[in-house]
Structure 1
Amino acid sequence: MSRVLLRHRRILTGDPARPVVTGLLLDGEVVVAAGDAQSLAADAASTVDLPGTVVMPGMYDAHIHTANLARDLVSVDLRGARSLDEALDLLRTHVADLPQDAWVFGGRWDSNRWQGPARPDRHALDRVAPGRKIALPSIDGHSIWASSAALAAVGYTRDTPDPAGGQIVRDERGEPTGVTRESANQPFREIMNDPSTDDLDPLLRAAQQELLSVGLTSVHDIDGEDCRAAYLRLKAAGDLMMRVHKAIPVQALEQAVHEGRRTGDGDDWFATGPVKLFGDGALGSHTAYLSEAYADSPADRGISVTPPDELLRLTRLATSAGIAVATHAIGDAAAVDVLDAYERVLAEGPLPSMPDGTALRLRVEHAQHLRPADVDRMARLGVVASLQPTHCTSDIDLADRLLAGHELASYAWAGLLRAGAPVAFGSDAPVEEPNPFHGLYAAITRQRPDGSPDGGWQPEQRLSLQQALDAYTVGAAYAAGQDQRKGRLLPGRLADLICVDRDPFEVTPTELRDTRVLATYVGGTCRWEAPLT
């Protein structure tokens, strides 16, 4: 195969030993040499001059819901609503041209930001869209706001018991209000993910272009089996433009084991990832599982979605079959349960290896609010902390209000790194925007986009820019067991890179947040290019 030289005056490799080069020599999709472009030119059959101010490794989102992100492109968006009335106005406009019998999904409502006392319930939806089946996930994805017709469609009545690990919220008469939480959302999720309700393939094609445009070259996708099937169809059609590490939903774990799937199966474009388990819910939904009660609800500690014995059983089942485990834990009590299960499994012997010989990774997804002792325990066990920096800056007010008086290590990125825990960054899009430069800004400032609070929230947990970049590149690759293939522009690594309009090390944090990607290369081929202006 003919070798190609990618040339630029400033290529950031991510390698501390040689951080800047001017040339990358490629053989197919792989870098075979990195160094002085003039010296490498003799071995190249052709040369490509890269655009922009700086070239840097492609970003790797360690936790993203790409199917949900894709569906949101054509769903009602309530994130901008600041009251119940505003949310209902947006919904009324959205449903006006839809068939009466069509399900209405989307939403991303955040009642924590609404002004006034009105809260979501089925009666409000019934007023603006009578008889319609509506199921709208909250911004954090852990609650659903449903209409009366939607509740009837899934069989929820006053006599329906709460499922284990979930809640059908009820009024003072015992009637469902229209809000469900955690495992009680599952019947709606199954309808949302039913291939007959939408055509995911074209939506994913559009979504991957959005992700490439913000500099993402690889993702850990956390969505369902329908998403897996859609990606495999895109790959077979030659339409997959970014690399996908695809998680297994817990509902499909036994099927995956039966089929012989193992973490790391596949190739550089599409590979099997970990099973996704759930320890709890989310802070904004009051379902994050805490050791102490919520400050505004003295009888409420959240929801333990998966009991400790079941977490242990599922972790054993997965790892014994060669499947890594990534468990959602936002509250400190949930993190305790998850780490207890991991510690017991690790004590039983070494974990199996992936097909390439790399040991399976155990991960805690979010790890937002930890007991200080568990920061060190994660490091001691080698458990990956899979974190999303913009969750911190979005949740500052929420954490201050709901966790007042709790002694916790919250969004403890610097503390985890100091302790020696592996750290990977992602976005959790569409809960947050997928743009990794927004995450970098949050990680180094711990401030909202407007620069508040002064000095950052709990500023001792701020990271250096290099630490944050590492978490978005080689850290995310390590979480997948792919750090020998991705994350740095070195010989033997994949030629996944982005060309940007400014040097991240020579701009202010605000300017960093506004970085524009000019071109995204995956496997040495330009997969996205900014339109000419």
Structure 2
Amino acid sequence: MNYIFTNGRLLTCETPGAMLNASLLVAWGKIAAIGSLDECKRFSKEPFELIDLRGNMLLPAFTDTHTHFTEYAKNRTQINLTGCASISEIRERLENYRRDYPELPRWILGGGWNKNIIDEPQYLNRQLLDELFPNTPTALYSKDYHSRWCNSAALKAAGITFNSPDPAGGLIQRDYAGHPTGILVETASEGLEKFIEPLSDEQTFRCLEQAAREIHKLGLVSVHSMEVPAGARVLEAFCSQSQLLRVCRHFYLDEFPGIRDSGQHTGSGDNWLRLGGLKLFADGSLGSQTGAIFVEYPHSKGNRGILRHSEEEIFALAKQAAEHGFSCLVHAIGDRAVFTVIQALLRLRQSGIKPPSPFRIEHLQSIRSQDIPLLKECGACCSIQPVHLANDVDMIEDHWCQIKNEAYSFRSIFDAGIPVSFGSDAPIETISPFSGIYSAVERRKNLDPREPSWLPEQRISAHEAIYAYTLGAAKASGAEGWTGSLTPGKVADLIVLRDFTALPPDYWLEASALLTMLDGRIVFRDNI
């Protein structure tokens, strides 16, 4: 079946805000023609459905360039502590989980706890989890995914004892007597991964299908996902069998030797599942106060965060990746980590080494103004999650009060001509691109219209934000030749929204797709 969209405006996204008053023909899964209605009718060689946009807007479907999509999907069957502000509320959710799942899995997983909003965070310890789950290993991620809260059974399974040393780049939190409290930070948390028994492949597949159908309502048909091998295996099968989602899958350092030796490279695969790049970590997070900054965290006795890789190490790893046909993306939160990554990428650029798709800096939550020209010079694409800002304002005021003017510098980065793509970091934040657009445009704490705009001089336009979710996102993985804009010959991944240009910014808080098309198939439709 062919489709012709007419009687609305086309937001092409070839540049931010580029508009056409035209009709668009979809044939054989691609954008076949853009022109007058009569021209599109003549060009269609097969029967077509005429879709009256009724004054609404047609644009490319969204891509989220930073998710942990398998984890996001599995959250439906795991403990969710998101938003809990008290230990009593956490206890209630844990008790509800035990009641709802009398046959417990081999490992109890989930998370979402946030020590920065909990009334008595000192009670986030193994003893509380031991009360409710004395025999089943339990490991619950913090909201920022940089720490895990474990019970005694999980610590025992991982061999963590009183005598266990802190791993390089990590921390085993201890009580006054030196015993592990159950909180594992950074690499200490990551070390638990090899002991955890995840959901079955069949359960995970069902979760992925449900999640993919849900995000179609948000105009999302494509994600970049940071995946461990177990999740990646199921995700690959899901993408090829269901064709409900396009995925660019990025991988971690421990998997690099095997992928490198397999003959794959960045871009291997097809338009449903492509291999992305090597994911590295330069530092930790703001919430855990492990993001590497130049100044000290207030009241921290000299803490400037954790720099997990030096400039030399990032340079060497990114160089090795590029020489074997891989791009590299580096997590960098604090200004010191961002500067370290920029310096490494400048050295790579000066050496003449070119990756198959742009090197990327993930998050970039703070950057000194003098480093923005260096960021432009190093040639990196910035993969930013604007919705983090909405939930970070209080933490920035508390932990980064000395450098808050460096935080989430959207306007400065766009004005410098630096390539930008947007994402969510789901399940850490909502996966809704509409929330991301609102946060980038309005910069209000907790996405609350009643709050003042925070550092309003760094706001960007809705058109710029949409571009970062469309063609900017495609460029972040070298896919701009076949997706990301309304251009004849590109895949027909399309959405219909209300014409927001005449609506107040609060529209984005309630926005949803009126229609979502994936590969020329309508996968979601709401009264249009």
After TM superposition, the score normalised by the length of structure 1 is 0.93
Q: Partner of 2:238 in structure 1? A: 234
Cα drift, residue 21 of structure 1: 3.6
Cα drift, residue 89 of structure 1: 1.2
1:395 counterpart SS class: helix
Q: Retained in 1: the 8 A contact 2:157–2:195?
A: no
- The answer to whether 1:48 aligns with 2:45 is no
2:304 counterpart SS class: coil
2:208 to 204, 208, 217: 204
Query: Within 1, Cα distance between the matches of 2:407 and 2:23?
Result: 41
Q: Retained in 1: the 8 A contact 2:158–2:195?
A: no
Query: Within 1, Cα distance between the matches of 2:517 and 2:47?
Result: 16
Q: List gaps (5 residues or longer) in structure 1.
A: 354-359
Q: How does 1:394-433 map to 2 (within 5 A)?
A: 394-406=391-403, 409-433=406-430
User: Quick one: structure 1 residues 78 and 117, their matched pair in 2 at CA, closer, same or farther if it must change by over 3 Å?
Assistant: closer
Q: Partner of 2:371 in structure 1? A: 374
1:301 counterpart SS class: coil
Q: How many equivalent pairs are there?
A: 522
Q: How does 1:113-512 map to 2 (within 5 A)?
A: 113-116=117-120, 118-192=122-196, 194=198, 199-237=203-241, 239-353=242-356, 360-406=357-403, 409-448=406-445, 449-454=447-452, 456-500=453-497, 502-512=498-508
**Which stretch shifts more, 13-22 or 125-134?**
13-22
Q: Retained in 1: the 8 A contact 2:141–2:148?
A: yes
Amino acid corresponding to residue 164 of structure 1 in structure 2: A
**Which stretch shifts more, 144-153 or 18-27?**
18-27
Superposed CA offset, 1:232-260 (max 9, x none): 212442x0212111112221111111012
Superposed CA offset, 1:239-287 (max 9, x none): 0212111112221111111012111122222111111111111110111
Superposed CA offset, 1:316-361 (max 9, x none): 11111110111000011111221122111221114144xxxxxx21
Q: Partner of 2:98 in structure 1? A: 95
Cα drift, residue 517 of structure 1: 1.4
1:164 counterpart SS class: coil
Amino acid corresponding to residue 159 of structure 1 in structure 2: N
CA RMSD between the two structures: 2.1
Q: Partner of 1:356 in structure 2? A: none
Q: Retained in 1: the 8 A contact 2:107–2:198?
A: no
Q: Retained in 1: the 8 A contact 2:329–2:361?
A: yes
Query: Within 2, Cα distance between the matches of 1:143 and 1:116?
Result: 17
Query: Within 1, Cα distance between the matches of 2:355 and 2:333?
Result: 27
Cα drift, residue 26 of structure 1: 2.9
**Which stretch shifts more, 52-61 or 148-157?**
52-61
Superposed CA offset, 1:99-138 (max 9, x none): 3563110021112111246441111111233233110001
Cα drift, residue 192 of structure 1: 4.4
After TM superposition, the score normalised by the length of structure 2 is 0.94
Please list every run of at least 4 consecutive aligned residues from structure 1 whose deviation after the TM superposition is greater than 6 angstroms.
Answer: none
Q: List gaps (5 residues or longer) in structure 2.
A: none
User: Quick one: structure 1 residues 199 and 3, their matched pair in 2 at CA, closer, same or farther if it must change by over 3 Å?
Assistant: closer
- The answer to whether 1:107 aligns with 2:104 is no
2:77 counterpart SS class: coil
Query: Within 2, Cα distance between the matches of 1:497 and 1:251?
Result: 37
1:105 counterpart SS class: strand
Query: Within 1, Cα distance between the matches of 2:454 and 2:133?
Result: 41
Cα drift, residue 373 of structure 1: 1.9
Cα drift, residue 305 of structure 1: 2.0
Query: Within 1, Cα distance between the matches of 2:205 and 2:467?
Result: 32
Cα drift, residue 393 of structure 1: 1.1
Cα drift, residue 479 of structure 1: 0.7
Cα drift, residue 180 of structure 1: 0.5
Query: Within 2, Cα distance between the matches of 1:46 and 1:193?
Result: 51
